[in-house]
């Protein structure tokens, strides 16, 4: 199973940017922990990060037929990008939306997610999520028995 982990704007600044909100782990730290857990589960992760909306849309759009699912932290684009939402929907892939902070406890504009309606799950308040996986069933798009993947919590 191959899962694409898609990270949006400013996530390259993790560890330095507002650590009280986003934690002290860098994106590299989080992805390393995620890769270790994925390896145990026999899952391949392919990671991508961009601050540019169009690049994220293109990457997600190319995922159909190349991945079995998506995990996305669209950052601020969560609250503004219909284009990313539409790319997720068009991919036909199961997608889990994740956030490092509790978006519902923050500014009103951060409480809306354009991604939520096209994702199979959402998790937030996950500063350090790479080290805190919990088993769950991941929808298998091949029609076989659902494969195991872990959810970041």
At 57-113, the pLDDT tens digits run 999 999 999 999 999 999 889 888 999 999 999 999 999 988 776 665 566 766 678
Q: What is the reported pLDDT for 152?
A: 36
Spatial separation of the C-alpha atoms in residues 89 and 94, rounded to whole Å: 9
Q: What is the reported pLDDT for 100?
A: 72
Higher pLDDT, 102 or 128: 102
Spatial separation of the C-alpha atoms in residues 24 and 107, rounded to whole Å: 21
Q: What is the reported pLDDT for 138?
A: 43
Q: What is the reported pLDDT for 126?
A: 52
What's the average model confidence in pLDDT over 29-39? 86
Tell me which of 48, 59, 99, 104 is the catalytic residue: 99
Whole-model pTM?
0.78
Strand runs labelled E in 1-153? 2-7, 44-49, 69-73, 95-98, 121-123, 133-138, 147-152
> Is 22 an annotated catalytic residue?
yes
Nearest Cα to 56, choosing from 117, 19, 5?
5
For the chain, give every domain's residue range: 2-152
Helices 82-91, 53-61: axis angle to 10 degrees equals: 10
Spatial separation of the C-alpha atoms in residues 83 and 77, rounded to whole Å: 9
Spatial separation of the C-alpha atoms in residues 115 and 74, rounded to whole Å: 9
Nearest Cα to 115, choosing from 68, 62, 76?
76
> Is 99 an annotated catalytic residue?
yes
The superfamily in CATH containing domain 2-152 is Dehydroquinase, class II (3.40.50.9100)
Tell me which of 22, 59, 79, 104 is the catalytic residue: 22
């Amino acid at each position: 199973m191959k899962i694409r982990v898609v990270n949006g704007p400013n996530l390259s600044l993790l560890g330095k940017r507002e650590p009280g909100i986003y934690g002290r782990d860098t994106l590299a730290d989080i992805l390393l922990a995620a890769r270790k857990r994925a390896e145990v589960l026999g899952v391949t992760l392919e990671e991508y990060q961009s601050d540019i909306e169009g690049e994220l849309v293109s990457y997600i759009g190319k995922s159909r037929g190349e991945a079995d699912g998506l995990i996305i932290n669209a950052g601020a684009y969560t609250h503004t990008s219909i284009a990313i939402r539409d790319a997720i929907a068009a991919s036909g892939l199961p997608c889990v939306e994740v956030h490092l902070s509790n978006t519902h406890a923050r500014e009103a504009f951060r409480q809306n997610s354009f991604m939520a309606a096209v994702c199979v799950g959402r998790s937030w308040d996950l500063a350090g999520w790479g080290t805190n996986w919990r088993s769950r069933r991941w929808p298998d798009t091949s029609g076989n028995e659902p494969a195991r993947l872990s959810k970041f919590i």
